[in-house]
Chains A and B, each alone.
Chain A
């Protein structure tokens, strides 16, 4: 018996978007990503990767076309989506404990007013366990290393038990060893949720994701095996050296 087709988690149909200066960032983009896939958005700077994520989060509205996330409009799906922003968007010196930062990911899931409840705290501790940061709850967020901070932000994103996890350049400031451990953790999370991440490190990303979405105003999705030098030079508009990394993700 043939496998049932997996439902689409992300659906974009003829989406176009431009910022106030009139520069088109995305043009007539159509894309479908099935549930359970582990996909990476790649492309040159200014190509529209982050804009695409913001459209999926409902932070921006398309000028033309339609966006659906988990079968509904992005704003309606927000509570079922986890999001890890670029590290530059987060103040590394913010006065908060690790537990407090993770708990912020529970906003919008329980009661609207007052302090978080016991169930929220338990979920936050479980999320910290999942990103291998047991024992970090009471530590100061400002005192963590870059890699630990990034794990805390992933814990914050998964504490609402999302069906889709979006990550914007999650390893941009990490060294290779920390990056490997980080992707190993993501690979584990990918067992139970759809993951879409923006990354510049195509050479490495190719080894762990199953779909590569090339974004440069227009969007083309490829199975990872089909991404070769020709696809890359078309995407970046010139020759790009694709460095092969010998990372091991277990």
Chain B
């Protein structure tokens, strides 16, 4: 930890990494809360894993066909948006088939990605970064993209918080009150897809689902409103990415994996703590009831 703090002011890449973690936390706190409350973590997982198709295809076109302008992250965004669109349409039109389609999008996305990786000559070191994350390699451009997405999400939540709350709580009521449920769900999945794309550079697509859900699920045990969950999840996510970065620096561990391990540990500690508090309350309640009996 001391080594990290000492190196932070002198190494721009460390500062970028810390900033990336903090910017990712805002998106993670907002979208993660919706993913947890609406119980669509499987949807987010499907979108995250389908990214590999876009990453693989973009790299193939760059290397084999000389499309040097095509950034792998752009390919990932296209694949994620396509996956989000398919899942949203199926989810709204044929809900009973939703899990099958998510599973198909998840697996086919991975399969297409693996095929393109196989067809692309050369060593795919950069793809490993997308699979497992490499926050130390975050470019300045990615920071601007993350900041832009945060801004979009804050405006989105500021304007439509109650409509989204209604859709998450009681979809039927939302329809009765004239909320455009389909449009909002599609928008929510599009923003989830874009968040997932940007989180990939922090923790990688294999672990992005954990960063999206664990801080929000932990926050759910610490606060009683959705807005509170968003704030607590954002702060938790910021603390976890900063701690993951700091703890992994000196022993040269992967920062993404360290962050997720910390997030998991925090979640289980909070869940365990909440259970203990509940059990204690029950005991106190029972003993009060016994004492007040004549």
By a beta-carbon cutoff of 8 Å, the part of chain A in contact with chain B is 57-59, 78-79, 81, 83, 85, 89-91, 94-97, 100-101, 103-105, 107-108, 113-116, 140, 142-143, 156, 160
B230 to chain A, nearest CB (A): 10
**Bound state CA distance, A103 and B163, in angstroms?**
11
Inter-chain contact B169/A108, CB cutoff 8 Å:
no
Q: Which residues of B contact A113 (CB under 8 A)?
A: 159-160
Closest to B229 in A: A95
30 A-B Cβ contacts within 8 A? A58-B176, A59-B175, A78-B176, A79-B178, A81-B176, A83-B176, A85-B173, A91-B169, A91-B170, A94-B168, A95-B220, A95-B225, A96-B225, A100-B165, A100-B225, A101-B169, A104-B165, A104-B169, A104-B173, A105-B173, A107-B162, A107-B163, A107-B177, A108-B179, A113-B160, A114-B159, A115-B162, A116-B162, A143-B224, A156-B173
Known: A58-B176, A100-B225, A104-B165. 7 other contacts (CB 8 A): A91-B170, A95-B220, A95-B229, A101-B169, A104-B166, A113-B159, A116-B162
**Bound state CA distance, A79 and B179, in angstroms?**
11
Q: Which residues of A contact B179 (CB under 8 A)?
A: 107-108
Inter-chain contact B226/A108, CB cutoff 8 Å:
no
**Bound state CA distance, A30 and B201, in angstroms?**
61
Inter-chain contact A108/B229, CB cutoff 8 Å:
no
**Bound state CA distance, A173 and B163, in angstroms?**
28
Q: Which residues of B contact A59 (CB under 8 A)?
A: 172, 175-176
Inter-chain contact total with CB atoms closer than 8 Å: 76
**Bound state CA distance, A95 and B170, in angstroms?**
12
**Bound state CA distance, A143 and B278, in angstroms?**
12
**Bound state CA distance, A179 and B130, in angstroms?**
57
Q: Which residues of A contact B162 (CB under 8 A)?
A: 103-104, 107, 115-116
Q: Which residues of B contact A114 (CB under 8 A)?
A: 158-159
Given A59-B175, A78-B177, A90-B170, also A95-B159 (CB < 8 A): no
Inter-chain contact B224/A97, CB cutoff 8 Å:
yes
**Bound state CA distance, A128 and B159, in angstroms?**
26
Contact residues, B29-79 vs A (CB, 8 A): 37
Q: Which residues of A contact B163 (CB under 8 A)?
A: 107
Q: Which residues of A contact B224 (CB under 8 A)?
A: 95-97, 140, 142-143
* Of B178, B220, B225, the contact of A78 (CB 8 Å cutoff): B178
Q: Which residues of B contact A94 (CB under 8 A)?
A: 37, 168-169
* Of B158, B174, B225, B228, the contact of A107 (CB 8 Å cutoff): B174
Q: Which residues of B contact A81 (CB under 8 A)?
A: 176
